[in-house]
Amino acid sequence: MRVLVAMSGGVDSSVAAHLLHRDGHEVVGVTLRLWGGPADRGCCSVADVDDARRVADRIGVDHHVFDFAEAFETHVVAPYVADHVAGRTPNPCIECNRHVKFDLLVARAAALGFDAVATGHHARVVVRPDGTRRVGRGLDPAKDQSYVLHMLTGHVLDRLVFPVGDRTKADVRAIAAAAGLRTAAKPDSQDVCFIAGDGGRRTFLGERIPLRPARIVDLDGVEVGSVEAVQLVTLGQRRGLGLAGAAAGRYVVDVDVAGATVVVGPPEATLVREVVLGDPVWADGPPADGERVLVQCSAHGRVAVARVAHHPGAVALRWEEPQRRVAPGQSVVCYDADAPDEVLGGGTAR
């Protein structure tokens, strides 16, 4: 099999390439050039490109760099800024997966005659008895990345391989060390690749949009504080609001960017019975009305139980027990209640 391996410069993708080459596949490595701004780090830095190239040399496979910077700006960076302007909390890594890594890259690989695309994600491709495919959880629960891949469906999954999905992170590092790969002890990237560490979101957004101060009010409308930039506040936030004393136990329950107002309340004020999904994507058709599903609202968040509710033009999830409201813009991912490791699909919270 001829496989194009997306090599980010990290240990997981390095081992993915090594395992496929060891097993006799024709492997070509590719690193995506996504961001050339001041951050220049994460999976986009010059150092990571060099690490990927050196690993490819060590394995004995060709390595190339694809420049997807224009698509990255259009589908990831610009929406990230627009979401903050609208008071939403974006997840840029998911949008990068959706539009770049598993859209443009898979299409490019097909055009170049590759049989499959492989990445170092800790996930699996599950083939069900009827032949349909779903994203499955990776073996290592601490590193499982099925949440950030929930939007992948059959036509893409047909061409994907996740070589490290059935291994623990410790096993991956041991394989890398045994193979003499320079990334064996390299720390995992935890950052948004286009956000510089020294200035963070405030500097990045402040260079692109006017950041607006806002007042903080309680549920009765009484002003209890202020923030310097309403666009940096997210639903459910507790820290970083500058509230002291009793007010410190309050959480953000509403963000009104246009009105420059942040509303805070006690923990119980964050609880809701339902979340409505925007732009849902399902692996093999939407769950039936009333179907019981397992739901995860962050990359390694606690799983909660909900029932699917179909509304005109929308799909909602009704929690069996009240849950904290999910910040608009964040992904809400459904897993099969009868096969808890399999992704049904998901969408973004409205």
Write the CA distances from 146 to 38, 143, 237, 246, 296, integer angstroms.
30, 9, 25, 39, 10
Contact yes or no for 66/30 (Cβ under 8 A): yes
Look up residue 342 and give its DSSP letter.
Answer: B
Give the C-alpha separation, 258 to 230, whole Å: 9
Catalytic residue among 43, 96, 297, 334: 96
Catalytic residue list contains 43: no
Give helix 46-59 / helix 11-22 axis angle, nearest 10°: 20
Give the C-alpha separation, 144 to 343, whole Å: 12
Contact yes or no for 202/26 (Cβ under 8 A): no
Catalytic residue list contains 193: yes
Give the C-alpha separation, 128 to 96, whole Å: 27
Look up residue 160 and give its DSSP letter.
Answer: E
Q: Which amino acid, residue 188?
A: D
| Gyration radius from the chain CA atoms | 21
Burial grade of 244 (CB within 10 A; 0-12, 13-18, 19 or more):
exposed
Catalytic residue among 43, 193, 297, 334: 193
DSSP lists the bridge partners of residue 140 as none
Q: What are 222's two structure tokens? A: 């009484």
The helix/strand/coil state of 172 is helix
Q: Which residues participate in catalysis according to the annotation?
A: 96, 193
